[in-house]
Structure 1
Amino acid sequence: MRTILVVGGGYAGFYTAWKLEKKLRRDEARIIVVDPRPYMTYQPFLPEVLAGSVEARHAAVSLRRHLRRSTIVAGSVVAIDHARRTVTVRPAEGPEFAIEYDIVAVTAGAVTRKLAVPGVAEQAIGLKHVEEAVAIRDRLLTAFDRASALPPGPRRQALLTATFVGGGFSGVEGFAELLSLASALVRSYPELDPAELNFHLVEAGKRILPEVSEEPGKWVVRSLEKRGARVHLGATLVSALDGHVVLSTGEEFDSELIVWTVGNAANPMVRSHTDLPIDRRGMLVVRSDLRVGTEDAPIPDAWGAGDDAAVPDLAAGRPGATTVPNAQHAVRQGKLLAKNIAAALRGREPKPYVHHSLGTVATLGLGRGIFQYRGLVIKGFPAWLMHRGYHVLAVPSWERKVRVFAIWLTAAVFGRDIVSLASVQDPRRAFVTGGEPLEARAEPPGYRARSE
């Protein structure tokens, strides 16, 4: 019985393993999935987790619960030696160890692209994982509580200021959802004036949402600005030291919350620690049928898909075009990858990946959205309903669909929950300090924060 090793349990990896379990007999292959997290993050729900419209755990799909026939290894693959059919795994605790395989599916995913901007590493939060979305939400809610007890002034102004850097889908959706939450939240704080809210979206390019055409992108900017946001186009973040934001345009302001959504970078393991072929961007070289290698020289028993693979985009009609790294492609590539691996095991030819876009849809806050399919553009409430309808159908498993839909119905009746649980990020403080607030400045002797 052959061993199929799936590197990464994100979109592409989860769907590869999930579909392989359905397509292969128990005696055909053993499936191993290696990932440091015990769940697959449904990333399109992160903006709604951030806004409290989706419960955090419902945006995470348990690997062990849904991959019942696979062996789940909790750790990170730090090297792939395909010549020897071996990967090196680094667990959270204990020494590194090797796992041998017969077939490897590299679906490790991309990582958040970081730039050497002073203060970003110390101040900013990303928006790629559930934990980050929860932290952003709790940071905003805690800031409102702190600001409500302060007189008007620079510190109160900083607490009510949020800055998102990056105007792609992740940044715009997260920014719009947080703005929607803050606008609703301020009504519960009579001490605060809605005019005190300062939300800044910083984008280096001349437009946001490059996935949609120019006019819908301009409409989104106008929509955000009507709601009180500031959209800085053609601007970059120069510094964020101590929460003091400096833009390339010369504007400066203090911001309690800084969210970094500048885009993806090549996975370091794929870029530097594998003998499989990579391109100049550090992406895995993949054929149209998802086998690693070129059309003329495939690498035996090596497959790749998702954000870490340069999959040829046959639907684009342009030589050299590759699929963009998004959820729509990762899910479909994962499903096809499972079919192709099963076909290869049974002596059949794998099929090429061809996917024509179904359009793009984005949430812009509660009751607001935008959808585009070629020349068709739908704005506002209908697009928001399309966004929710599409994603509740797309999230894997009926269990997750029902849970998410139930939360939406509850929120429609009772509104969003506005309780902050920021203290869970530092659970020992109350125990050590005897109930002293999280904001206490003096740390007790012998106390070590979780971040240490």
Structure 2
Amino acid sequence: MREILIVGGGYAGFYTAWRLEKKLRAGEARVTVVDPRPYMTYQPFLPEVTAGSVEARHAAVSLRRHLRRTRLIAGSVTEIRNADRTATVRPVNGPDQQLRYDTLVVTAGAVTRTFPIPGLSQQAIGLKHVEEAVAIRDRLMTAFDQAATLPPGAERRRLLTVTFVGGGFSGVEGFGELLSLATAMLKSYPELGMDDLSFHLVEARGRILPEVGDEPGAWVVRSLESRGAHVHLNTQLVSAEDGHVVLSDGTEFDSELIVWTAGNASNPVVQNHTDLPVDERGLLVVRADLRVGTDSDPVPQVWAAGDDAAVPDLASSVPGAHTVPNAQHAVRQGKRLAKNIVADLRGGRVRDYRHSSLGVVATLGLGRGIFQYKGLVIKGLPAWLMHRGYHVLAVPSWERKARVLAVWLTAAAFGRDLVSLASVQHPRDAFVARGIPQRTGENRESDPTAA
């Protein structure tokens, strides 16, 4: 039986394995997925997780629940040696092991791009995983509780200052959703006012949301600023030491919460620890049919898709264009990849990946959004409804769709759930704080004073 190894269980990897289970005959091949997390993160929901509009669990799709005939290994691939048809896997627990394969699928995904900015690694939180989104929400809500006990001043201002670095979709959506949450929370905190909030969005380029046109992008800036936000364009983060933010335009302020969403970088394993061909950006060289290699020099039985693959964009009129690294392409590439692998195994014809964009849509907070498809631009509530409608249909499995829709309907009827569970990040604190010292040689069951 052929061994198909899938490196990474994100969008492209999950959909490839999911479709392979449906298309492979019994005994035709065994599929193995290696990923350190037991779930696939539906990243478009992360901004709404930060605002509490989507439960954290509902943005995570269980691999074991949906990939019932796939072998799952909780670990990370640290090296790929295609010349030997082996991959080195570092499990969550235990020593490294070598996996042999006949067919390799690389869908490891990108990693968050960072820079050597003083204080960044100590102070900032990313927005690429569920736990990060939950931590951002809980930290903001904890800051509200603390600020409400303080008189107006510098410390209260610091607690209610939020800084997002990066004006792409992830940054703008997360920023807009968190601003919407903070504004709504003021109703429950009579001690605080809108003047106490200070939200900053920092972008190195002269515009935000590069996937939309200039005018829609400018409208988003005006919309955010009308809600009290500060948008710093053509500006970079210089320092974040001890939470003191210094920007290249000379602005300085103290910020309790710093979120880094300034783009992605190629996966280090793909870029530095494989003998597969990569381009100058560290992405795998991929043909239009998703095989690794070039038309003249393909790599046999090796495929790739998603954020770590430079997939030609056949739907673009720009020569040499590649598909943008987003969920829309990763999902469809995974589906096409599964069909091509099965066709190749059976000696059939593989097809090129071609997908014309369905447009781009972004949430800017509850009831606010923007949608663009070519020259058509929709703003405000209609765009926000389109955003929710598209993503509730796009999230995998009917079970997840039903759960997300139920949360949205409940929130529409009863409002936001404004409960912080920051303490779950330190589950033993309460236990240790309430512990009763025991005398040597005694146990709690024999102590008559124990209650």
Relative to the length of structure 1, the TM-score reads 0.96
SS in 1 for 2:125: coil
Displacement after TM superposition at 1:434 (Å): 2.0
2:409 is aligned with 1:398? no
Q: Tell me which moved more, 228-237 or 86-95.
A: 86-95
- Separation in structure 2 between the aligned mates of residue 43 and residue 243 of structure 1, nearest angstrom: 27
- Separation in structure 2 between the aligned mates of residue 318 and residue 27 of structure 1, nearest angstrom: 43
Q: Equivalent residue for 2:120?
A: 120
Displacement after TM superposition at 1:410 (Å): 0.3
Q: Which amino acid aligns with 1:238?
A: V
Displacement after TM superposition at 1:428 (Å): 1.1
Displacement after TM superposition at 1:152 (Å): 1.1
SS in 1 for 2:390: helix
SS in 2 for 1:403: helix
- Separation in structure 2 between the aligned mates of residue 149 and residue 78 of structure 1, nearest angstrom: 48
2:323 is aligned with 1:332? no
Q: Which amino acid aligns with 1:413?
A: A
2:183 is aligned with 1:183? yes
Q: Equivalent residue for 1:2?
A: 2
2:267 is aligned with 1:281? no
2:146 is aligned with 1:146? yes
SS in 2 for 1:372: strand
- Separation in structure 2 between the aligned mates of residue 239 and residue 158 of structure 1, nearest angstrom: 16
- Separation in structure 2 between the aligned mates of residue 350 and residue 153 of structure 1, nearest angstrom: 65
- Separation in structure 2 between the aligned mates of residue 35 and residue 407 of structure 1, nearest angstrom: 28
- Separation in structure 2 between the aligned mates of residue 214 and residue 431 of structure 1, nearest angstrom: 54
Q: Give the alignment of 1:323-402 within 5 angstroms.
A: 323-402=323-402
Q: Which amino acid aligns with 1:215?
A: E
Q: Which amino acid aligns with 2:39?
A: Y
Measured against aligned partners, the alpha-carbon deviations of 1:9-33 in whole angstroms (never above 9, x if no partner) come to 0000000000000111121110000
SS in 2 for 1:174: helix
Displacement after TM superposition at 1:194 (Å): 1.5
Displacement after TM superposition at 1:84 (Å): 1.0
- Separation in structure 2 between the aligned mates of residue 356 and residue 324 of structure 1, nearest angstrom: 11
Relative to the length of structure 2, the TM-score reads 0.96
SS in 2 for 1:83: coil
Q: Give the alignment of 1:40-79 within 5 angstroms.
A: 40-79=40-79
Q: Which amino acid aligns with 1:23?
A: K
- Separation in structure 2 between the aligned mates of residue 247 and residue 315 of structure 1, nearest angstrom: 39
Measured against aligned partners, the alpha-carbon deviations of 1:409-431 in whole angstroms (never above 9, x if no partner) come to 00000111111000111111111
- Separation in structure 2 between the aligned mates of residue 318 and residue 351 of structure 1, nearest angstrom: 21
- Separation in structure 2 between the aligned mates of residue 341 and residue 42 of structure 1, nearest angstrom: 24
- Separation in structure 1 between the aligned mates of residue 322 and residue 300 of structure 2, nearest angstrom: 22
SS in 1 for 2:40: strand
- Separation in structure 2 between the aligned mates of residue 26 and residue 407 of structure 1, nearest angstrom: 39
Q: Which amino acid aligns with 1:74?
A: A
Q: Which amino acid aligns with 2:236?
A: T
Q: Equivalent residue for 1:219?
A: 219
Q: Which runs of 5+ in 2 are unaligned?
A: 436-451
- Separation in structure 2 between the aligned mates of residue 210 and residue 96 of structure 1, nearest angstrom: 41
Q: Equivalent residue for 2:13?
A: 13
Q: Equivalent residue for 2:439?
A: none
- Separation in structure 2 between the aligned mates of residue 318 and residue 246 of structure 1, nearest angstrom: 39
SS in 2 for 1:84: coil
Displacement after TM superposition at 1:319 (Å): 2.3
Displacement after TM superposition at 1:349 (Å): 2.0
Measured against aligned partners, the alpha-carbon deviations of 1:152-201 in whole angstroms (never above 9, x if no partner) come to 11111000000000000000000000000000001100111121100000
Displacement after TM superposition at 1:80 (Å): 0.6
- Separation in structure 2 between the aligned mates of residue 423 and residue 336 of structure 1, nearest angstrom: 43
Measured against aligned partners, the alpha-carbon deviations of 1:121-148 in whole angstroms (never above 9, x if no partner) come to 0000000000000000000000000000
- Separation in structure 2 between the aligned mates of residue 282 and residue 346 of structure 1, nearest angstrom: 32
Displacement after TM superposition at 1:370 (Å): 0.3
2:126 is aligned with 1:155? no
**Aligned-residue RMSD, C-alpha:** 0.7
Q: If you compute each CA radius of gyration, which structure gives the higher value, 1 or 2? A: 2
Q: Give the alignment of 1:77-96 within 5 angstroms.
A: 77-96=77-96
- Separation in structure 2 between the aligned mates of residue 41 and residue 181 of structure 1, nearest angstrom: 22
Q: Tell me which moved more, 391-400 or 148-157.
A: 148-157
Q: Tell me which moved more, 205-214 or 86-95.
A: 86-95
SS in 2 for 1:195: helix
Q: Equivalent residue for 2:447?
A: none
- Separation in structure 1 between the aligned mates of residue 26 and residue 38 of structure 2, nearest angstrom: 23
Measured against aligned partners, the alpha-carbon deviations of 1:260-304 in whole angstroms (never above 9, x if no partner) come to 000000000000001111111100110000000001111001000
- Separation in structure 2 between the aligned mates of residue 290 and residue 334 of structure 1, nearest angstrom: 10
SS in 1 for 2:258: strand
Residue-pair matches, total: 435
Q: Equivalent residue for 1:439?
A: none
Q: Which amino acid aligns with 2:55?
A: E
Q: Which amino acid aligns with 1:9?
A: G
Q: Equivalent residue for 1:129?
A: 129
Displacement after TM superposition at 1:318 (Å): 2.3
Measured against aligned partners, the alpha-carbon deviations of 1:330-369 in whole angstroms (never above 9, x if no partner) come to 0000000000000000101210011100000000100000
Displacement after TM superposition at 1:406 (Å): 0.3
Measured against aligned partners, the alpha-carbon deviations of 1:305-340 in whole angstroms (never above 9, x if no partner) come to 000000011111222211111101100000000000
Displacement after TM superposition at 1:433 (Å): 1.7
Displacement after TM superposition at 1:235 (Å): 0.5
Q: Equivalent residue for 1:445?
A: none
Measured against aligned partners, the alpha-carbon deviations of 1:11-56 in whole angstroms (never above 9, x if no partner) come to 0000000000011112111000000000000000000000000000
- Separation in structure 2 between the aligned mates of residue 358 and residue 104 of structure 1, nearest angstrom: 30
Q: Which amino acid aligns with 1:332?
A: R
- Separation in structure 2 between the aligned mates of residue 87 and residue 416 of structure 1, nearest angstrom: 46
Displacement after TM superposition at 1:93 (Å): 1.6
- Separation in structure 2 between the aligned mates of residue 148 and residue 96 of structure 1, nearest angstrom: 50
